[in-house]
């Protein structure tokens, strides 16, 4: 064993390997990508043995491949980000009905914020929709333990299991003890056993649905009573007069399963309630004047990383309350690590004797709704506060500061028996309790934390509202506000905004510019997609009008062409997305004859998520060389008749190629081919002549390269008092796109990729010589071939088979591969 500092995703990879995983597959997507890459790295180093790992074409392909491996008894791990589960959902829904053989764990990373995603969808909801158990780690350490438990749970009940970390868990780092070497679990000697249960006919689906419902009921029971799973659901108590001790309790807590007593269902709630009460930390002091510990009347429920935030918030509140000479009310805390199926028995034990509960969770109100349901079914006098009542953020990430303010307000209101109004917009938080410090001191109670949807991200009032002279007050909300404000006094300035922008030298910039130039004088709709090139929507490029989900640009453009045929529809798609999600859309365009232009941005990598390989690169994740799947061959196979090429660093060539594709009547493609700047050595930076620069800013306003700035203090014979552009040599990649757009010839540098000046577009010839494995093909004018059309429709009296044979013959005449 070795102690290592690991990112959450790296730790999850080690956990899966230590659990004996045999096959790992997924599709890149932040914040999940590092897990697969870590497995590949460890495999390449020879420390992860007997494991196969791959980047699949898309999430659906990954899960289906893993399903087959699972049927053979292998332990399998699927990875994706939250929107990737949408792509895999068809396979997941059916797989759960059929069941699995070896343990099947789905590692699905949610992205509250969102930070790098299209949506804030909640995978806990997806788990409930698919009827698949979900584990929700509060820390990377807990997630490490959950990975092994998930494989065991999957095999015990023959069900897929979802582990759902969020971004801050994925990317947090801490120390782990990990094995020096791991081995995949030995596969069953019998291998795949043929059985009618693997075939999902309607009768099998009906039977499978019954199996699902029965096992979910049993799993919910296990979440409460099986120590291996109940360890992920913690119940503890804190607060009260012993504030200092309670602060310690809020960060340590106790863990344990609810112990069943008596027969099936007999006295279960009361026994569970006693277990919850017994879970109070020993450090919590008894209430003064009583023989024992005061029973809590309020509770806190949290799930996922919000557990850690809430514990930190409680520690903050208890510390500040102790300094002010008051106490946080006695509370009970329920940390939920198994949100689906909901651990009802543990929740009932937690809720016993409580009057109010506040729920903190990221994304949807999953736990809040479960607590509301529990209160109704068990006839509890319990008020539940959370997202649905305006007491918690309705979207985005939680933070310790935000929760501290909301907890303070919750404690104030419940202690004073005041209602907690929904969506209260600021205002004064007051407390009428006789023990109130504000009543004792007559001090002002400061406004705290708007709860309106519009201000959900505004966690605290501006720090300028607070000073070292702020008077003490007993309102816990005000104490939290004062403390947070004081903490933020160290920096009163406004951090500069870093706008998302394509890298200097990115080939996509030239592609967007060329298409916009080719469309001059024409109405058009430009459909984007998911990747770095989504940034084409920003000014000054302004070349992306829509972006929905992976592959959608291809098919959305077809919808525009049907309804608004007078406008040209252009769809931008990257090379990785092309293989992942675009092929069916292109086939649809050809089949239905839609007049659209596909602008394929081929930079030879999956750039946005970390430069992972894809089927067009010719190299697998495990470093094995394969013949690359060539984009133009795929397009030709799908029936696209016009396929052009251009080097996007050559403006004249790219504009001509784009214009030819746009003018074509019917589906047409233009492949802009140049490597991502992360894959190639930069050229010498360009230079701007102070003698020739006129200060017109066209180099900035036309392409928006971050390597070019403007200094109003620079002077020259042509610019006068206007100022001049300048080049940041630390950013400039030497692509020379700016050289070609400057109308005064003021920018100097080599024009064209690799020093070649290409001014005419190339056209695709069926059956060209294959590219060398791993080579990045860049087709320039002097390498072009005339496009040879091959008639694939056949004669009217030919059968489909005869037509196909004729087509194959004509292709052979054009040159066999």
**Based on the number of CB atoms within 10 Å of its own CB, is 686 exposed (0-12), middle (13-18) or buried (19 or more)?**
buried
The two structure tokens encoding residue 362: 């990221």
Residue with tokens 């019998």: 190
**What is the rounded distance in angstroms from the CA atom of residue 451 to the CA atom of residue 402?**
11
Evaluate the omega torsion of the peptide bond into residue 540 and state whether it is cis, within 30 degrees of 0. yes
Q: Is residue 330 a contact partner of residue 296, using CB atoms and an 8 Å limit?
A: yes
The two structure tokens encoding residue 283: 């450090």
C-alpha closest to that of 29 among 783, 608, 741: 608
- Taking CA atoms, 90 is separated from 13, 59, 116, 555, in Å, by 26, 10, 24, 20
CATH architecture designation of domain 233-260+269-423: 3-Layer(aba) Sandwich (3.40)
C-alpha closest to that of 386 among 370, 378, 399: 370
CATH number (3.40.50.1820, 3.40.640.10, 3.40.50.970, 3.40.309.10) of 2-225 reads 3.40.50.970
What pLDDT, on the 0 to 100 scale, is given for residue 750? 67
Residue 143 has phi, psi (to 5 degrees) of: -60, -35
Q: Is the dihedral angle over the CA atoms 119, 120, 125, 126 positive or is it negative?
A: positive
Which residues of the chain, if any, have pLDDT below 70?
Answer: 241-293, 416-474, 482-494, 750-817
**DSSP-assigned letter for residue 595:** -
C-alpha closest to that of 398 among 449, 338, 332: 449
**What is the rounded distance in angstroms from the CA atom of residue 16 to the CA atom of residue 674?**
37
CATH architecture designation of domain 687-749: 2-Layer Sandwich (3.30)
What pLDDT, on the 0 to 100 scale, is given for residue 469? 30
The two structure tokens encoding residue 228: 């291996």
What pLDDT, on the 0 to 100 scale, is given for residue 454? 37
Instruction: Count CA atoms within 13 Å of residue 207 on its CB side.
Output: 11
The 3-class secondary structure across 621-669, one letter per residue, is CCCCECCCCCHHHHHHHCCCCEEEEECCCCHHHHHHHHHHHHHCCCCEE
Evaluate the omega torsion of the peptide bond into residue 756 and state whether it is cis, within 30 degrees of 0. no
Residue with tokens 């006098």: 381
**What is the rounded distance in angstroms from the CA atom of residue 812 to the CA atom of residue 194?**
42
**Based on the number of CB atoms within 10 Å of its own CB, is 467 exposed (0-12), middle (13-18) or buried (19 or more)?**
exposed
Per-residue pLDDT tens for 649-704?
Answer: 999 999 999 999 999 999 999 999 999 988 887 888 999 999 999 999 999 999 99
**What is the rounded distance in angstroms from the CA atom of residue 26 to the CA atom of residue 609?**
13
- Taking CA atoms, 224 is separated from 211, 218, 377, in Å, by 20, 10, 18
Q: Is the dihedral angle over the CA atoms 528, 533, 538, 539 positive or is it negative?
A: negative
The two structure tokens encoding residue 727: 């080049």
3-state class of 76 per DSSP?
strand
Per-residue pLDDT tens for 751-798?
Answer: 644 333 334 456 665 554 443 433 433 333 333 333 222 232 334 344
What pLDDT, on the 0 to 100 scale, is given for residue 804? 35
**What is the rounded distance in angstroms from the CA atom of residue 294 to the CA atom of residue 803?**
86
- E-state strands within 100-157: 104-109, 134-135
Q: Is residue 339 a contact partner of residue 134, using CB atoms and an 8 Å limit?
A: yes
The two structure tokens encoding residue 161: 């299991």
Q: How much is the pTM? A: 0.69
| CA 601-604-610 angle, 5° bins | 100
Q: Which CATH superfamily is domain 507-680+758-786 in?
A: Thiamin diphosphate (ThDP)-binding fold, Pyr/PP domains (3.40.50.970)
**What is the rounded distance in angstroms from the CA atom of residue 603 to the CA atom of residue 605?**
6
C-alpha closest to that of 652 among 780, 506, 504, 501: 780
Give me the residues paired with residue 80 across strands. 108
- Taking CA atoms, 275 is separated from 224, 249, 632, 759, in Å, by 11, 17, 66, 78
Contacts of 491 (CB under 8 A, 6+ apart): none
The two structure tokens encoding residue 126: 């997806």
- Taking CA atoms, 504 is separated from 383, 672, 755, in Å, by 55, 17, 18
**What is the rounded distance in angstroms from the CA atom of residue 431 to the CA atom of residue 408?**
11
């Amino acid at each position: 064993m070795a102690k290592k500092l690991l990112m959450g995703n790296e730790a999850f990879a080690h956990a899966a390997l230590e659990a004996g995983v045999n096959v790992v597959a997924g599709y890149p997507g932040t914040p999940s990508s590092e897990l697969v890459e870590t497995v590949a790295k460890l495999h390449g180093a020879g420390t992860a043995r007997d494991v196969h790992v791959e980047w699949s074409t898309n999430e659906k392909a990954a899960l289906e491949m893993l399903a087959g491996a699972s049927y053979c008894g292998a332990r399998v791990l699927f990875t994706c980000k939250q929107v990737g589960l949408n792509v895999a959902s068809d396979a997941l829904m059916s797989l759960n009905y059929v069941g699995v053989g070896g343990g099947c764990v789905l590692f699905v990373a949610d992205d509250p914020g969102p930070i790098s995603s299209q949506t804030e969808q909640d995978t806990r909801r997806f788990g409930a929709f698919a009827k698949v158990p979900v584990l929700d780690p509060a820390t990377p350490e807990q997630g490490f333990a959950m990975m092994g438990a998930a494989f065991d749970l999957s095999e015990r009940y023959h069900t897929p299991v979802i582990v759902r970390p969020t971004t801050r868990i994925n990317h947090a780092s801490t120390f782990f003890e990990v094995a020096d070497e791991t081995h995949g679990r030995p596969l069953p000697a019998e291998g795949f056993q043929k059985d009618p249960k693997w075939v999902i006919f309607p009768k099998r689906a009906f039977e499978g649905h019954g199996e699902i419902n029965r096992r979910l009921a049993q799993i919910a029971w296990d979440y409460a009573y099986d120590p291996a799973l109940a360890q992920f659901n913690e119940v503890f108590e804190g607060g009260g007069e012993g504030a200092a001790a309670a602060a310690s309790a809020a960060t340590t807590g106790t863990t344990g399963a609810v112990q069943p007593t008596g027969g099936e269902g007999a006295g279960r709630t009361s026994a569970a309630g006693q277990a919850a009460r017994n879970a109070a930390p020993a450090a919590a002091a008894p209430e003064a004047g009583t023989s024992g510990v005061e029973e809590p009347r309020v509770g806190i429920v949290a799930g996922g990383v919000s557990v850690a935030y809430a514990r930190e918030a409680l520690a903050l509140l208890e510390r500040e309350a102790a300094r002010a000479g008051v106490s946080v009310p006695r509370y009970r805390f329920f940390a939920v690590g198994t949100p689906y199926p909901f651990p009802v028995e543990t929740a009932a034990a937690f809720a016993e004797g409580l009057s109010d509960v506040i729920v903190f969770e990221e994304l949807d109100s999953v736990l809040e709704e479960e607590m509301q349901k529990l209160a109704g079914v068990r006839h509890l006098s319990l008020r539940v506060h959370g997202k649905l009542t305006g007491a918690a953020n309705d979207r985005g990430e939680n933070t310790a500061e935000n929760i501290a303010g909301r907890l303070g307000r919750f404690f104030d209101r419940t202690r004073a028996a005041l209602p907690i109004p929904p969506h209260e917009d600021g205002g004064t938080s007051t407390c009428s309790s006789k023990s109130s410090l504000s009543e004792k001191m007559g001090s002002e109670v400061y406004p705290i934390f708007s709860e309106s949807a519009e201000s959900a991200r505004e966690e605290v009032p501006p720090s300028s509202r607070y000073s070292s002279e702020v008077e003490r007050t007993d309102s816990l909300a005000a104490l939290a506000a004062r403390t947070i404000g004081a903490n933020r006094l160290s920096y009163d300035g406004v951090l500069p905004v870093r706008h998302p922008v394509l890298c200097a030298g990115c080939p996509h910039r030239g592609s967007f510019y060329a298409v916009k130039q080719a469309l001059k004088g024409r109405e058009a709709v430009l459909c984007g997609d998911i990747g770095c090139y989504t940034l084409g929507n920003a000014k000054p490029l302004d070349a992306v009008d829509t972006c929905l989900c992976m592959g959608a640009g291809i098919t959305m453009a077809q919808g525009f062409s049907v309804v608004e045929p007078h406008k040209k529809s252009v769809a931008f798609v990257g090379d990785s997305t092309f293989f992942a999600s675009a092929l069916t859309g292109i086939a649809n365009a050809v089949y239905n004859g839609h007049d659209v232009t596909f602008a394929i941005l081929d930079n030879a990598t999956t750039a946005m998520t970390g430069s992972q390989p894809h089927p067009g690169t010719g190299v697998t994740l495990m470093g094995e060389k394969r013949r690359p799947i060539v984009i133009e061959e795929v397009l030709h196979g799908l029936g696209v008749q016009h396929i052009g090429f251009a080097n996007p660093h050559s403006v004249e060539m790219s504009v001509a190629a784009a214009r030819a594709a746009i003018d074509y009547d019917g589906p047409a493609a233009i492949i802009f081919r140049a490597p991502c700047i992360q894959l190639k050595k930069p050229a010498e930076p360009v230079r701007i002549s102070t003698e020739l620069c006129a200060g017109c800013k066209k180099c900035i306003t036309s392409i928006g390269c971050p390597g070019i700035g403007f200094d109003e203090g620079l002077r020259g014979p042509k610019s006068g008092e206007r100022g001049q552009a300048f080049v940041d040599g630390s950013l400039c990649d030497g692509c020379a796109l700016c050289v070609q757009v400057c109308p005064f010839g003021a920018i100097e540098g080599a024009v064209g990729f690799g020093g070649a000046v290409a001014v005419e577009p190339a056209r695709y010839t069926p059956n060209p010589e294959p590219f060398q494995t791993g080579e990045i093909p860049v087709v320039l004018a002097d390498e072009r071939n005339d496009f040879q059309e091959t008639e694939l429709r056949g004669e009217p009296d030919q059968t489909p088979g005869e037509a196909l044979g004729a087509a194959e013959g004509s292709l052979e005449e054009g040159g066999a591969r």
